[in-house]
Amino acid sequence: MGVTQVIIGVPREICPGEQRVALVPANVTALLKKPGIEILIEREAGLPAGYTDADYEAAGATLTDRETVFGKAEILLQVQTPGSNQANGDQDLTALREGQIVIGMMDPLANPSFASTLAERKVTGLALELVPRITRAQAMDVLSSMGMLAGYKAVLMAANESNRMFPMNMTAAGTLNAARVFVMGAGVAGLQACATAKRLGAVVEAYDVRPAAREQILSVGAKPVELDLDTGAAEGSGGYAKAQGEDFLKRQRELMTEVVAQMDVVITTAAVPGAKSPILVTEDMVKAMKPGSVIIDLAAERGGNCDLTEMGKTVVKHDVIIVGPVNVPSTIAFHASQMFGKNLENLLGLLINKEGQLNLDFEDQIVQDTVVAHEGDVPQARLRELLGLPALVAAEPAEEASSEEEKK
């Protein structure tokens, strides 16, 4: 056997309701193909997602207790780090040690102080939410992976709550009209919601503030809803929707009321990273909807896209059922863990070279964007701005230094 160079640890998730696990056995098998890697898994870490200890052992992992995982791992992998786990993450925070690397969800734009906390402890942190939306990083993009699953599950939630079936049926007892489903926001979650509702037989329409979304909506079999609005500045960097001014949102809501009133199901997916979700469905719009209609608000964790959403609850307001789910991907934990684990496996493939040695290359955009704490500092430019820290000065080019030597 070769010498162990990198120890990777996966603890069981402790955030209430979190069923996912950071690596699945297939990821363990793939990672152990590189020399010098040891993988520690806390016993029963994968069980809530349907992965047994025997599966991990067969893949080559070492099963151990939580204390050993935190104590020995150089790279700690979590779905919810203490940055995103506001419920009981502090107990993990105290277990982190100087020089350790933590990779997982950190909610960095909404909770930038966590980066400072890691820096103070001299822990290196990589926030998966900050993986850049560039072609090379697509296979590491957990937001897209989890968004796809949330969009799928939202439609099933809607079908379960609705008093109508989705497909049209011609029966001896008469014709049953197809349900009308309206998806607001055509990002990864919204497009998957469109595709899933279409497969169930619904008549699907969708709206997104970004003009580029029209072709994407058509590509999944939905009809784009077009409003008379100036949307030229609606798309920010990285393909995310950009926060809009109140005048724009007010006009959008006025035009949208008429559309929403005709729908049986409305699924809202509009989120701005690190900011409160924009209100797309007002109380007046809910009042205009048919009795028994359903709203699934996938932005509930950020305040919701509907005025009347209550996070984590299903409520009935003005005879409309409004669902505000939290952590939807965790409800499909087997496949969510599979996708999350593959994203992490691909990221680790970038961070660990063929010889099994860890290498954080800050010349690489993926490393630049995702590393939120390193060697006692916060190197991530956007987080420095949010924390009120001065911008980092780029190092002097090597040629200039040598020319100074020549002058002496």
In this prediction, residues 57-82 reach a mean pLDDT of: 97
Q: What does DSSP say about strands 294-297 and 371-373: parallel, antiparallel, or unpaired? A: unpaired
Residues 19, 104 share a domain = yes
**pLDDT recorded at residue 400:** 44
In this prediction, residues 26-45 reach a mean pLDDT of: 96
In this prediction, residues 205-224 reach a mean pLDDT of: 92
Catalytic option among 133, 164, 199, 251: 133
Q: Which residue has the higher pLDDT, 211 or 195?
A: 195
Q: How many distinct helices (H) and strands (E) make up the chain?
A: 14, 16
Least confident of 158-162, 174-178, 265-269: 174-178
Q: What does DSSP say about strands 101-105 and 314-317: parallel, antiparallel, or unpaired? A: unpaired
**pLDDT recorded at residue 363:** 93
- The HSE-up count of residue 8 (CA atoms within 13 Å, CB side) is 29
* Residues linked to residue 393 through DSSP beta bridges, in sequence order: none
Backbone angles phi, psi at 201, to 5 degrees: 100, 10
Count other C-beta atoms under 10 Å from residue 267's C-beta: 31
Confidence of residue 126 (pLDDT cuts 50, 70, 90): very high
Please identify, among 305, 326, 347, the residue that sits at the C-terminal boundary of a domain. Answer: 326
**pLDDT recorded at residue 220:** 95
In this prediction, residues 381-394 reach a mean pLDDT of: 87
Residues 216, 129 share a domain = no
**For residue 358, is it within any domain?**
yes
Residues 190, 220 share a domain = yes
Q: Rounded CA gap, 352 and 360, in Å?
A: 8
Catalytic option among 55, 116, 164, 240: 240
**pLDDT recorded at residue 395:** 53
User: Phi-psi category of 202—alpha, beta or left, where left has phi over 0 and alpha has psi -120 to 50?
Assistant: beta
Residues 248, 224 share a domain = yes
Whether 80 shows a pLDDT value over 80: the answer reads: yes
Q: Rounded CA gap, 382 and 363, in Å?
A: 17
The string of pLDDT tens digits covering residues 272-326 is 877 889 889 999 999 999 999 999 999 999 999 999 999 999 999 999 999 999 9
Q: Rounded CA gap, 58 and 40, in Å?
A: 13
Residue 364 tokens read as 């690489």
Q: Is 144 a catalytic residue?
A: yes
**pLDDT recorded at residue 405:** 45
Please identify, among 276, 298, 326, the residue that sits at the C-terminal boundary of a domain. Answer: 326
Reduced 3-state DSSP string for 84-152: CCCCCCHHHHCCCCCCCEEEEECCCCCCCHHHHHHHHCCCEEEEHHHCCCCHHHHHHCHHHHHHHHHHH
Print the domain residue range for 212: 146-326
Least confident of 90-99, 181-190, 236-245, 280-289: 236-245
* DSSP at 316: E
Catalytic option among 141, 208, 264, 369: 141
In this prediction, residues 60-89 reach a mean pLDDT of: 96
**Tally of domains within the chain:** 2
Q: Which of 233, 148, 145 is nearest to 192 (CA)?
A: 148
Question: Mean pLDDT across the chain, nearest whole number?
Answer: 91
**What is the CATH classification number for the domain harbouring 377?**
3.40.50.720
**For residue 190, is it within any domain?**
yes
**pLDDT recorded at residue 401:** 42
Q: State which amino acid sits at residue 121.
A: R
**pLDDT recorded at residue 207:** 93
Residues 198, 121 share a domain = no
**For residue 397, is it within any domain?**
no
**Virtual CA dihedral for 74, 77, 80, 85, nearest 10 degrees?**
-10
Do the beta carbons of residue 51 and residue 58 sit within 8 Å?
A: no
Residues 229, 110 share a domain = no
**pLDDT recorded at residue 379:** 94
By percentage, how much of the chain surpasses pLDDT 90?
80
Do the beta carbons of residue 244 and residue 234 sit within 8 Å?
A: yes
Catalytic option among 138, 214, 368, 382: 138
Whether 403 shows a pLDDT value over 50: the answer reads: no
**pLDDT recorded at residue 407:** 43
Q: Considering the entire predicted model, what is its pTM?
A: 0.89
Catalytic option among 144, 162, 216, 380: 144
**pLDDT recorded at residue 272:** 81
Q: Tokens 């069980």 label which residue? A: 47
In this prediction, residues 155-164 reach a mean pLDDT of: 97
Q: Is 133 a catalytic residue?
A: yes
Residues 163, 123 share a domain = no
Produce one character per residue of 279-291: b if its CB has 16 or more CB atoms within 10 Å, e if not: bbbbeebbebbee
